[in-house]
Structure 1
């Protein structure tokens, strides 16, 4: 499949641009801060709802930044990918890099199989409209959010290294000492980051703004994440295949959809599975090049025109 590109083109697409990388973090956090500032300056129901929606979308953006840093492709420096990705992307949304990297690499090597840690999110699609509405109801009433929060605190951060054994990175089961050490490090980092954030808001006289973060996490973030997961791998011809075009979809997001479901070009997901080490900020250009060369010609199912179309395909069961 890589025959769609020359060796030089592959090299250029994989080349990191630190300016674009830092800009991705800057704009994401600027939008979070601006949303909180809006509520502080003009507190009312409307501004709170806007802030929750924007912050929920930016929490997904942080997840995408963590994702790209886990591939060590976002920055040119391995240390920046590891440290900035951990502290300014993963820890804010309760996912340490030590868990996410092996977890996500298993997704790439085992896509759609029983060993894929994400397969449970998309295995049943397409589903009925009624079943999909029930899922959205759980998201919008905070039920999914509470479940996710407990999973992050009681599973992800308690010494597990996401499916590392399936990747061959952990030849033996972790000892109690290793589990305890990892757990303490993870909780230390969570307390340092979130404690510092709350303290800063307290010093500024706006401690209640911290609630916006968790309100966004519990409700809009869950709904946004669900739609994004469906768009990437849901209701495709096959769950598992050597051809990424049979298992993975690219969605041509509209501007407002990019704000919510497709930050940092994550909507070009087929291209990401095609070349996983290409930084997100190069994926649009990669998409345009391979599409022009016939990449999707016999695989129209691997493209969706927008997220409404994704939901329509996913609810035809």
Structure 2
């Protein structure tokens, strides 16, 4: 099986230039986890005090639920803390489990994606291969996300299929891959969410769990997860042969970082070039790589709207998906 093409740091940087990107800190990742939960807590409080803000709070919380998944991804690379035990504890119990994932299941799956990025063995290839699609097709997918259909399939149908011994991930649906990380963590997910519900009951706002935690997870979270997946790898010409084009970086303005792409997840081309660089150093790595002649080969989109237009440029030919 051919692995994805790679470069070495020495191909671009002197040892002195590369040194800042190698260091990790024990405390930065925990602060990011605390920030993510802090934003969620503030949005829940705002929604409880001013119910008119609930639609906005749903978008903020759903994006931070994606943020938890992103920080789980960081932990899968050992980048959440230089202390491995703290890295794995935070990545699993504070990031993965609350949104229904499992760090232990996700890590080998995701590292296989890096090893075979955009090759036929890439387990994530199913996410990017169908694109471009038509506008109508993308619109239907997003409607399924925002109406809870994607959530129901991921969190109910796929785990049930797993309990019945059926290999749910053999389907070609572009969200079935999530059975790898959601279908194996049902009990911890239910336990943690029961604790969140109990907290709301004790606080006298039991309804907040459903309106300001479960609703974002069932609607906004699947949609921005889809947009993230599209932006990272879809429609990047030469992605299977050029390490500088294995993924796309998307320039994100403040509102895109707030509602679509938290915690520097938009710097995905740099992440695939050097996957062990911590996420908070990716903006500096982006500038350093782009300053080299080779960096001009990278796929850099001006924003997520541009990516959506590119990924939905195919003419409508049939009502399928």
Question: Shorter-chain TM-score: what band?
Answer: 0.7 to 0.9
> After alignment, is 4-13 or 72-81 more displaced?
4-13
Deviation at 1:218, TM superposition (A): 1.1
Deviation at 1:84, TM superposition (A): 0.5
Q: Which residue of 2 aligns with 1:31?
A: 39
Q: Which residue of 2 aligns with 1:105?
A: 111
- Separation of aligned partners in 2, 1:35 and 1:106: 36
1:296 is paired with a residue whose SS is helix
Q: Which residue of 2 aligns with 1:168?
A: none
| CA contact 1:94–1:152 (8 Å) conserved in 2 | no
- Separation of aligned partners in 1, 2:219 and 2:253: 22
Q: Which residue of 1 aligns with 2:302?
A: 305
Q: Call closer, same or farther: CA 1:156–1:84 in 2, change over 3 Å.
A: farther
Q: Which residue of 2 aligns with 1:83?
A: 89
Which of 50, 53, 56 is the matching residue for 1:42? Answer: 50
2:27 is paired with a residue whose SS is helix
Deviation at 1:29, TM superposition (A): 0.5
Q: Which residue of 2 aligns with 1:273?
A: 272
Q: Which residue of 2 aligns with 1:197?
A: 196
Q: Which residue of 2 aligns with 1:93?
A: 99
Per-residue Cα deviation, 1:209-261 (whole angstroms, up to 9, x for no partner)? 111211111111111111111110011114523x2323310011111101122
Q: Which residue of 1 aligns with 2:134?
A: 128
Q: Call closer, same or farther: CA 1:34–1:158 in 2, change over 3 Å.
A: farther
- Separation of aligned partners in 2, 1:12 and 1:123: 35
- Separation of aligned partners in 2, 1:157 and 1:40: 37
> TM-score scaled by structure 2?
0.84
Deviation at 1:6, TM superposition (A): 2.1
Deviation at 1:306, TM superposition (A): 0.7
Q: Call closer, same or farther: CA 1:259–1:201 in 2, change over 3 Å.
A: same
| CA contact 1:253–1:262 (8 Å) conserved in 2 | yes
Q: Which residue of 1 aligns with 2:311?
A: 314
Which blocks of at least 5 consecutive residues in structure 2 are unaligned? Answer: 1-6, 170-182, 315-321
Q: Which residue of 2 aligns with 1:240?
A: 240
Q: Call closer, same or farther: CA 1:156–1:312 in 2, change over 3 Å.
A: farther
Q: Which residue of 2 aligns with 1:21?
A: 29
| CA contact 2:100–2:186 (8 Å) conserved in 1 | no
Which blocks of at least 5 consecutive residues in structure 1 are unaligned? Answer: 164-181
Q: Call closer, same or farther: CA 1:79–1:155 in 2, change over 3 Å.
A: farther
1:250 is paired with a residue whose SS is strand
- Separation of aligned partners in 1, 2:158 and 2:41: 24
> TM-score scaled by structure 1?
0.85
| CA contact 1:157–1:187 (8 Å) conserved in 2 | no
Q: Which residue of 2 aligns with 1:145?
A: 151
RMSD of aligned alpha carbons: 2.5
- Separation of aligned partners in 2, 1:230 and 1:272: 16
Q: Call closer, same or farther: CA 1:158–1:283 in 2, change over 3 Å.
A: farther
- Separation of aligned partners in 2, 1:99 and 1:235: 28
| CA contact 1:112–1:247 (8 Å) conserved in 2 | yes
- Separation of aligned partners in 2, 1:224 and 1:284: 21
1:303 is paired with a residue whose SS is strand
| CA contact 1:94–1:153 (8 Å) conserved in 2 | no
- Separation of aligned partners in 1, 2:43 and 2:158: 25
